Structure 1
Amino acid sequence: MSRLEKVREASTTVIALAAALVVALGVIVWLALGQRSEGEDLDAARATAEQFTARDDAGKAALDAARAVLVQITTYSYRDGEHEFAWLDQIADPALRQRLAPNVDQLKKAIVDGQVTAKGQVLDAAARPVSADQVEVLAFVDQAISDGGPAQDLGDVKVEEQRVSMTMKRTGGRWLVERLELLSGTNASGLDPAAGASSAPSSSATP
């Protein structure tokens, strides 16, 4: 083999090795990018799943809290200690609390003077999570109202059907009421479902 042929052969070998190296490097880069992409996709999928789980958990917790506070709002009695409206502490929005607070004394007086008893029951409710800390709730509540003390034993009971829209907000680890709106019922478009006491059936002892 002549010197020229040997040089050409060596050159060809180097080129072949270089080409193989380039291909190998390309494969390694492709695999690395593919793994990175798969890893990013997996992380994104996990984050999305965790977000949905958090919202689902929030919806369930907020719905339970909403049901409980609606029962408290619509259940009271003229008897001592049974019309204190402690549920006002579960109002997260200061402005809403201030709007409700002035009506409390008047409502208490109406309950006592009319010897009103009310018992609320949440028939159905649904939640729509807005975020992990805010949930919209729509609830259907029946409130059985009677007045006149002993008259309630005679079946003098009025059932108020109420549809309530509310927003629950997680504050300090607790689900509190941020918005409360009565959509249907005697006091529809008002803020306080408990105000049904003002429209309870009249007794002969109450003017």
Structure 2
Amino acid sequence: MSTADSGLGKVVVNRSMSLDGFIAGPDHAMDWIFDHLDNDAFPDVMQATGAMLIGRGTHEVSMRMAVEDIDYDGGPVFVLTHRPPDEPQRGVTFLTCGLEEAVATARAAAGGKDLEILGADLASQCLRQGLVDEVLVYVVPVLLGNGVRFSTPGLGRIDLEPFENRQSGSVTMLRFRVQDREPARGGASAAAS
């Protein structure tokens, strides 16, 4: 996906990951991340972020987490889902459109900054459809042994080009450009569940 001529920021899959490849622990636990990573670790990433597109499952997990001490302002939040809640949630826009339209809507709201994609299923769908420019991973020094994998089964091969790695405290940030490829054919472009 090229952003050079569009005036829009990049589409970035952004996630923290245990050394053994999990982005969430058993029962979708994510509290282990905050033992190592805080908002000040890589402030330039936050400053480059204009909006977030999140899968429904990731959104529900974040709503259950009590992290009052974490102030994460990545701009407008969009949740792609087949099942929007009956009651609106302050600061969240629920989208029930197709994947490409959801990415375009969230990118437009990012105001020229980057769009972060959060959630294993949603990120895998975006990667499969060729909608992602970069993958940014915070490798956290912990082995979880079980949980939610970095990507969902059936993603297929995605070639990446490493272009940056940095350390902040015990966390290593790795950045990769997604290599040009044709979007998967026959894959559904449906909202995350």
TM class by shorter chain equals: under 0.3
Quick check: which one's helix share is greater? 1
The TM-score, its normalising length taken from structure 1, stands at 0.25
The TM-score, its normalising length taken from structure 2, stands at 0.27
- Kindly indicate whether structure 1 or structure 2 has the higher relative contact order, using CA contacts under 8 Å at least 6 residues apart: 2
Which has the higher Rg, Structure 1 or Structure 2? 1
